[in-house]
């Protein structure tokens, strides 16, 4: 058996000295064959392990506060849910949003117009030359996205929603098409109209830029009238990625111009409480982020930066150079529809990376898909929950990973930085000083683990091969 001893400590040692009864530790375990098992509560012990290295948690090393966890509302998710009868559909929504029995999601994303998991392409104003947005409409959203969000809000009214476009209205783009990359199998974009990275596809004239800022403003206001507050917008999903689905390339300089001279002033006038974020960044080049955050006019409006995919490579530098900037992980890497334990382990590693480097939230991508997992543009992807053709609902391994995290870690919790060098565990301190510890055993053999609570209490465990655990250690 391969052995990995750990020590984890909680900053309450002085108070522990006089305790007569050891505090109890809550424990939830998931394995590939047996997910979400409430284990017997553990008692902390004053006796150290007999041998093995000791690696401490120092709860004095409190870092960023946590804003929340969630995923994205997508049209194909709602379509999959409609295949269910009312009772199982409600149970599935509760599995994601119920604060007591589900994942307790509180922070979610939605698209502005179509994304790659829309039923098909649309924008909120496809009338060419409608610079005044006279034909702007969210009628399409009333069919799927708005009911989806409302169903979630009925379970958890505390949900906060932010939005990002994958493409502006097609007539605002140089190629007059929603896509950037030509792909005869899934779109009708002529090859000669394909774009490329670092060449802006948006039509950069003042009239179109002003109209697009108005488009954002009308979107937020229209949703507010539906009872849904969009607390923030991220200006462009993956502004460097030329895709065969809805997408739009922006150079950093052109995005800075749009934010600083058009979108920012428009929101300042119409929606002063709605945040503008630089997101979602999917490339690791710090100079591209610098070009926007160091643009004086744009920077005054930007409240945070969102990262996904290869953007994870730049978050450490952004955190270092812009210490007051809010940071968000915006889209977990979606795989290729495997929905297996390996996907859970990969996402755990992403969580560890993002939280270690300052992310204040973590969002999965698709919450619910049918058994194909396939978008209308051909990519088969993972989802938290799969709905089969017979109405069978399957919670996939990544669902349980998200639940292990999001049901335990409360808004306002602080990430504990002292486990930076421990690859397979990370921790948070909840309001009220409850310690939440997530531990993964990725090995093919059982793992012995010991952790200590602030130099005074210890607990020794044997964790099964390929298992995930959440420990809840109360304030003492």
pLDDT digits (tens, 9 = 90+) for 32-83: 999 999 998 787 777 777 766 666 778 889 999 999 999 999 999 999 999 9
Could you give the C-alpha distances from 337 to 85, 119, 183, 350, in angstroms and in order? 25, 18, 21, 18
Q: Rounded distance, CA 414 to CA 12, Å? A: 16
Q: Two tokens at 95?
A: 């599995």
Handedness of CA 203, 204, 208, 211 (dihedral sign): positive
User: Would you call 10 helix, strand, or coil by DSSP?
Assistant: coil
Q: What is 77-138 written as a DSSP string?
A: HHHHHTTS-HHHHHHHHHHHH-TTTS----EEEEEES--TTSSS---S---TT-TT-TT---
Residue 259 pLDDT: 99
Residue 453 pLDDT: 66
Q: Rounded distance, CA 92 to CA 39, Å? A: 24
Residue 17 pLDDT: 38
Residue 461 pLDDT: 78
Residue 293 pLDDT: 98
User: Would you call 188 helix, strand, or coil by DSSP?
Assistant: coil
Residue 81 pLDDT: 98
Q: Two tokens at 9?
A: 């400590």
SS3 assignment for 388-435: CCCCCEEECHHHHHHHHHHCCCCCCCEEEHHHCCCCCEEEEECCCCCE
Residue 7 pLDDT: 34
Q: Two tokens at 155?
A: 């379970």
- How much is the pTM? 0.94
Q: Which of 210, 292, 300, 289 is nearest to 256 (CA)?
A: 292
Q: Two tokens at 143?
A: 């069919």
Per-residue pLDDT tens, the chain, 476 aa: give them: 333 333 333 333 333 334 446 678 899 999 999 999 999 878 777 777 776 666 677 888 999 999 999 999 999 999 999 999 999 999 999 999 999 999 999 999 999 999 999 999 999 999 999 999 999 999 999 999 999 999 999 999 999 999 999 999 999 999 999 999 999 999 999 999 999 999 999 999 999 999 999 999 999 999 999 999 999 999 999 999 999 999 999 999 999 999 999 999 999 999 999 999 999 999 999 999 999 999 999 999 999 999 999 999 999 999 999 999 999 999 999 999 999 999 999 999 999 999 999 999 999 999 999 999 999 999 999 999 999 999 999 999 999 999 999 999 999 999 999 888 889 999 999 999 999 999 999 999 998 887 776 777 776 778 999 999 999 988 86
Q: Rounded distance, CA 289 to CA 330, Å? A: 16
Residue 2 pLDDT: 39
Q: If you count them, how many residues does the chain have?
A: 476
Q: Rounded distance, CA 220 to CA 229, Å? A: 7
Q: At what angle do helices 145-155 and 86-97 cross, to 10 degrees?
A: 70
Q: Rounded distance, CA 187 to CA 205, Å? A: 27
Q: Which of 29, 24, 8, 63 is nearest to 403 (CA)?
A: 29
pLDDT digits (tens, 9 = 90+) for 433-466: 999 999 999 999 998 887 776 777 776 778 999 9
Q: Burial, 287: exposed, middle or buried (Cβ in 10 Å; 0-12, 13-18, 19+)?
A: exposed
User: Would you call 81 helix, strand, or coil by DSSP?
Assistant: helix
Q: Burial, 255: exposed, middle or buried (Cβ in 10 Å; 0-12, 13-18, 19+)?
A: buried
Task: Give the chain's domains with CATH numbers.
Answer: 13-22+41-61+417-467 (2.60.40.1180), 67-408 (3.20.20.80)
Residue 133: partners with Cβ closer than 8 Å, 6 or more residues away: 125, 211, 214, 215, 218
Q: Rounded distance, CA 208 to CA 424, Å? A: 49
């Amino acid at each position: 058996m391969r052995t990995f001893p750990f020590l984890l400590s909680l900053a309450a040692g002085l108070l522990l000295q006089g305790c007569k009864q050891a505090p109890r530790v809550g424990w939830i375990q998931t394995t590939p064959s047996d997910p979400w098992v409430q284990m017997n509560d553990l008692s902390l012990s004053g006796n150290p392990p007999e041998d093995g290295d000791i690696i401490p948690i120092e709860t004095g090393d409190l870092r960023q506060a946590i804003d929340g966890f969630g995923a994205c509302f997508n049209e194909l998710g709602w379509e999959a849910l409609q295949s269910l009868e009312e009772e199982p559909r409600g149970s599935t929504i509760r599995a994601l949003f119920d604060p007591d029995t589900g994942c307790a999601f509180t922070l979610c994303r939605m698209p502005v117009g179509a994304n790659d998991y829309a039923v098909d392409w649309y924008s909120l104003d496809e009338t060419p030359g409608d610079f005044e947005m006279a034909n702007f409409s969210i009628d399409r959203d009333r069919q799927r996205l708005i009911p989806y969000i409302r169903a979630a809000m009925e379970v958890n009214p505390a949900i906060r929603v932010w939005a990002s476009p994958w493409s502006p209205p097609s007539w605002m783009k140089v190629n007059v098409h929603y896509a950037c990359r030509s792909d005869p199998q899934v779109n009708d974009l002529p090859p000669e109209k394909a774009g490329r990275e670092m060449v802006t596809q948006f039509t950069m004239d003042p009239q179109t830029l002003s109209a697009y800022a108005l488009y954002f403003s009308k979107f937020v206001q229209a949703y507010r009238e539906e009872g849904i507050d969009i607390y923030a917008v991220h200006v462009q999903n993956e502004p460097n990625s030329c895709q065969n689905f809805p997408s739009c390339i922006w150079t950093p300089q052109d995005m800075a111009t749009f934010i600083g001279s058009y979108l920012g002033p428009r929101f300042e006038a119409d929606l002063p409480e709605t945040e503008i974020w630089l997101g979602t960044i999917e490339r690791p080049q710090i100079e591209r982020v610098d070009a926007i955050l160091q643009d004086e006019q744009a920077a005054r409006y930007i409240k945070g930066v969102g990262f996904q995919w290869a953007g994870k490579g730049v978050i450490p530098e952004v955190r270092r150079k812009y210490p007051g900037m809010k940071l968000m992980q915006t889209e977990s890497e979606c795989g290729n529809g495997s929905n297996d334990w390996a996907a859970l382990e990969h996402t755990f590693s992403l969580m560890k990376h993002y939280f270690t480097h300052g992310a204040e939230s973590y969002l999965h991508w698709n919450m619910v898909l049918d058994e194909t997992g396939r978008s209308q543009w051909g990519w088969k992807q993972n989802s938290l929950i799969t709905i089969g053709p017979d109405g069978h609902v399957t919670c996939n391994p990544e669902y349980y990973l998200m639940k292990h995290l999001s049901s335990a870690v409360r808004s306002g919790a602080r990430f504990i930085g002292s486990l930076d060098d421990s690859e397979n565990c990370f921790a948070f301190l909840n309001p009220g000083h409850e310690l939440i510890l997530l531990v993964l055993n990725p090995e093919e053999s059982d793992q012995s683990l010991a952790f200590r609570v602030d130099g005074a209490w210890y607990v020794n465990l044997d964790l099964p091969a390929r298992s995930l655990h959440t420990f809840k250690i109360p304030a003492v």
